[in-house]
Structure 1
């Protein structure tokens, strides 16, 4: 299968025994775009790689159905293995593939929020846009909460707002709002430092967390929102902004992720509703500046990247903040706002960039 054409392997964290991978519709679109571009696309689990024979059992799209097949290791790997509690079992196999000189990874996945913060803090242009962030410790957390009266605690790795909480201190009592590890809403009141300590230690367990300054990134009526900017490399290996959209969460929530019940809105009408004309122009210019500066700067220190979802907060004064950067971004936000141009580009760019990497590697085909 695909013996005479270049191949793009979509690496997904699933058992490999059946086509149970996530993002099936996204992978179908990539397969169809790849077919039109002369690239064979298949989906595989790193658990199903045979390094002795240099083959992998995966799935390819045939007549709109996923068919099981044995493939030679792909020319280019598109890493869509999301960080999850079970990620450790995949990691040794992923690292072995990354170290294979005959395989090109489209992107080296970002290690975590703290590592990204440390890199971006080195940038004279971007450092002032970062909320104060540090690794979590109870001592730092307690000191920051006493001083600032509100702090955010979030997993060092993870997506969809899972495990992100805000703790506020008011007259010796505490309120915890956010999402549990399973993305269910969490709202809890705690009446002593001792009980807060017990809750936090249990909530964090053995996972690394970060501690972040709380910013009021809400609409006037209390709904959290952020701006998702998708940037991707094109068929010439250059960074391009694919699209922008606002994600707004439910009132009294602290996250705006679509997986947590958030909704998406076009950027310009949203800004027109909540900000003055002068603020709108400044916000749009700052968003464009971040989209231009951040990807190449991050890539310089981290290594090759193919696409980034940049989440930006905007406070009541119209100041823009870099909240999070994701190297495995979703695309659903553009479907929600019916931006067909951005949605189509978000699907075609990975294939076009894979073509570029193959051409660079083999000198054309």
Structure 2
């Protein structure tokens, strides 16, 4: 069976929401509509507007509401470009001009943990090992200082999680947290497999808030395994590659 790919973020979100176990880790996500955007900004103050079928963080927009902010009542940022709007109507009009007719989602904003005042999130690599799923790698992704996304292709820096977690978690607490993320990765894969039985690998982007609660931001069914070469533990990437060879994504490398 060929390796299955699922591009639509909305389709994957709907499958994950069917799991009672996973709902507590899912930020509220809805299709982008005028009143949906307004109500979510009123409730959360900050949201992310994402293309349904985007990759590498392209097209992701961070939108914030600043009550009483006058000409800066609303701000939005895409890439390194930051814009201000004095009203919701102006914000909506400018966003529509930017996204045109492409389908977008609006997602509850999670304030990411920071390292040296830069946001970071976590990528979990989850792969099929025979009939079972296994989380084969965890890596932190440190955002570029001037950007809102952490993706390597958008200037993010892959780093060991232990380095990024300094000041947040260490020692046994960090080990227990990593194990929790590994179990979460497997639970996500098992749930997605109920709808997409041809899946062999997923990359899960996980935000961690200041209360150390993990949030599932996105699931990628064509994850980049090569960022794991940046880890100090040089056993991780060969294992990831070996699993990928076993289910047919890559050819076995000649020595």
Superposition TM-score tier, normalisation by shorter sequence? 0.7 to 0.9
For 2:150, the equivalent position in structure 1 comes to 256
Aligned counterpart in structure 2 of residue 331 of structure 1, from 221, 225, 249: 225
Q: After TM superposition, which residue ranges in structure 1, 4 or more long, deviate above 6 angstroms?
A: none
Report matched runs for 1:265-284 at 5 Å.
265-275=159-169, 279-284=173-178
Report matched runs for 1:217-232 at 5 Å.
217-219=112-114, 221-232=116-127
1:137 maps to 2:33: yes
Count of equivalent residues: 245
Report matched runs for 1:336-351 at 5 Å.
336-351=230-245
Q: Check the 8 A contact 2:41/2:65 in 1, yes or no.
A: yes
Uncovered stretches (5+) of structure 1, i.e. residues with no partner: 1-103, 180-184, 356-365
The structural deviation recorded for 1:206 is 1.2
Deviations 1:68-121 (A, max 9, x none): xxxxxxxxxxxxxxxxxxxxxxxxxxxxxxxxxxxx31x221141111111111
Secondary structure of 1:303's match? coil
For 2:75, the equivalent position in structure 1 comes to 175
RMSD across aligned C-alpha pairs, in angstroms?
2.0
Length-normalised TM-score, structure 1: 0.63
Report matched runs for 1:1-365 at 5 Å.
104-105=1-2, 107-170=3-66, 171=68, 172=70, 173-179=73-79, 185-219=80-114, 221-234=116-129, 236-275=130-169, 279-354=173-248
The structural deviation recorded for 1:282 is 4.7
Secondary structure of 1:129's match? coil
Between stretches 162-171 and 337-346, larger displacement belongs to 337-346
The structural deviation recorded for 1:224 is 1.6
For 1:47, the equivalent position in structure 2 comes to none
Uncovered stretches (5+) of structure 2, i.e. residues with no partner: 250-255
Q: 1:307/1:314 Cα in 2 relative to 1: closer, same or farther (>3 Å)?
A: same
Q: 1:169/1:337 Cα in 2 relative to 1: closer, same or farther (>3 Å)?
A: same
Larger Rg: 1
Secondary structure of 2:217's match? strand
Secondary structure of 1:280's match? helix
The structural deviation recorded for 1:279 is 5.0
Deviations 1:200-235 (A, max 9, x none): 11112111100111111131654221111111123x
Q: Which has the higher contact order (CA 8 A, sep 6+)?
A: 2
The structural deviation recorded for 1:160 is 1.0
